[in-house]
Amino acid sequence: MELQAVIEKRQSIRRYKEGDVPKEHIEEMVRAAGLAPSGKNIQNWHFVVIKDKAIMEKMAAAIKAKNEEMVAEMMKVDEAKALRFEKFAKNFTLFFVNAPVLTVVMSKVYTPSGYNEYKLIGADDETLKDLLHHRNPGMQSLGAAIENFYLRAVDLGYGLCWLTSANYAAAALEKILKEDCGFEKEGYFLAALLSIGVPEDNQKSPAKLPVEEILTYV
């Protein structure tokens, strides 16, 4: 497909047809991801592919358990917010169990230029936090890789959902990766999930802002 057509076809896919995503296709997606630019060429990504339904279900259960634990505490302070959080997990996280493939995107911390230098000269926490968290080049690099992965997947006829709404349960998911899948990578942390499969028809996508609203010439 032409690049522009792939970009325009891409939308979040949360319902999938049954069927496998062959290894060659997954490797095409990962190869595209690996071609992305990254700060200092750190290539701070690693993709863990899960096809085993029992593992996916265990992950979903761990997210649900964490969600319930948080909801129980939240109920004591704000019932409406607690119920919203519970519903959000149901609608926008746990659907990944129905995807033929779940890819866990692992990343590692990138220390931005100027961070250690600021530290050396005794910069305050706000300045350090601003550089490390708000402008985070490591996550910018990872986003570029995930988008490449995503677009190649669409080009091959698949649909994806990029999920970070399970990140509050990341420790539990990393534990499953370690104990049930034997996967552990020094210095890497779970950053996102990608559910992948052939899309079911008629999935809605929200409107995008017009160019005039996201562009300023000065």
Residue 141: closest CA among 47, 31, 32, 45: 45
Q: Is 103 in the site for ligand FMN (CB under 6 A)?
A: no
Choice from 25, 51, 70, 92 touching ligand FMN (CB under 6 A): 92
Please identify, using beta-carbon distances, which residue of 128 and 136 lies nearer to ligand FMN: 136
Kindly tell me which of 123 and 144 has the beta carbon lying closer to ligand FMN. Answer: 144
* Half-sphere exposure at residue 170, Cβ-oriented, CA atoms within 13 angstroms: 15
Do the Cβ atoms of 38 and 145 come closer than 8 Å? yes
Q: Which residues contact 44 (CB under 8 A, 6 or more apart)?
A: 38, 107, 108, 109, 110, 138, 141, 142
| Range in contact with ligand FMN (rule: CB under 6 A) among 76-84, 113-121, 130-138, 163-171 | 163-171
- Nearest distance, CB of residue 122 and ligand FMN, angstroms: 34
Closer to ligand FMN by Cβ: residue 36 or 128: 36
Tell me whether residue 5 or residue 22 sits nearer to ligand FMN (CB atom): 5
Residue with tokens 């899948």: 181
DSSP symbols for 146-177: HHHHHHHHHHTT-EEEEE-TTGGGHHHHHHHH
Query: How is residue 218 written in tokens?
Result: 């000065």
**Inter-residue contact 67 to 89 (CB < 8 Å):** yes
Nearest distance from C-beta of residue 195 to ligand FMN, angstroms: 9
Residues 14-43 that bind ligand FMN (CB under 6 A): 14
Are 34 and 139 in contact by the 8 Å Cβ rule? The answer is no
Q: What x/- string results for residues 179 through 198 when contact with ligand FMN is judged by CB under 6 A?
A: --------------------
Task: Figure out which of the listed residues 151, 165, 191, 194 binds ligand FMN, where binding follows CB under 6 A.
Answer: 165
Q: How far is the CB of 120 from ligand FMN (least distance, A)?
A: 33
Instruction: Please select the residue that binds ligand FMN; options are 62, 99, 163, 176, rule is CB under 6 A.
Output: 163
Report the interface residues with ligand FMN, using CB under 6 A.
Answer: 11-12, 14, 92-93, 161-165, 205-206
